[in-house]
Amino acid sequence: MRGVIHRLLFLVPFVLPAWMLVWWIVNGASPGEFLFLLIAMPAAFVTAGVAALLVWLRPDVRERRAVTWTDAAWLGGAWLAWLVAGAIGGGYGMLALIAAGVVAVVAVVWLWRRLRAETVRRYEAATASGAAPGGSQRGAARSPGEGPDAGKVITIEQIPRTPPSAGGTGGH
């Protein structure tokens, strides 16, 4: 299931607004509800897209190609809230869409905190071991034969050019 959610990360931001629009058309909702959907559909797209990006940015998720169970709960809860809210019509539907937006924003905030904590932990682990985040050794003295300055030296010599003679055999 965690692998399935990982594969759906960047598909869901497009499916949620489409689902809301199709459900509005099928149920024949009022134009007022459609105007509210013009706000809810971009909100669903943005929150689902940002949540997907925040999860995908974590290296452990990309390496395993699966989200954690906690990520699955937050993402699944937010997605389910948008799906259910998009299927409720009338005044309660608008309230449900607002509630789904709140749930989605809470999920995004939680996922942001998780990404930040993971990034800080990885950075501190890398700096504690003496390695800079880029992979090179911080503060380590290098001998002249190591690193980016190592290798052959290329020397370019300029040979002075003599101008062509003025009375040449050009044939013009």
pLDDT in tens, 27-75: 777 777 788 888 888 999 999 899 889 888 888 877 777 778 888 888 8
Give the mean model confidence (pLDDT) for residues 111-115. Answer: 90
In a domain, 147, yes or no: no
Does this model's pTM top 0.75? My answer is no
* Residue 162, phi then psi, degrees to nearest 5: -95, 135
In a domain, 22, yes or no: yes
| Nearest residue to 56 via CA among 92, 22, 7, 105 | 7
171: left (phi over 0), alpha (psi -120 to 50) or beta: left
Q: How many residues does the chain have?
A: 172
In a domain, 10, yes or no: yes
**Domains held by the chain: number:** 1
In a domain, 75, yes or no: yes
User: With pLDDT > 90 as the criterion, what percentage of the chain qualifies?
Assistant: 9
For residue 125, the SS3 value is helix
The neighbour count for residue 149, using CB atoms within 10 Å, is 9
Q: Is pLDDT above 80 for 132?
A: no
Are 85 and 97 a contacting pair, CB within 8 Å?
yes
pLDDT at 171: 54
What is the spatial distance between Cα 2 and Cα 68, in angstroms, rounded to a whole number?
Answer: 7
In a domain, 138, yes or no: no
What is the spatial distance between Cα 165 and Cα 151, in angstroms, rounded to a whole number?
Answer: 43
Span of 80-84, 91-95, 135-139, 156-160 with lowest mean pLDDT: 135-139
In a domain, 130, yes or no: no
In a domain, 131, yes or no: no
In a domain, 9, yes or no: yes
pLDDT at 55: 87
- Domain encompassing residue 115: 2-125
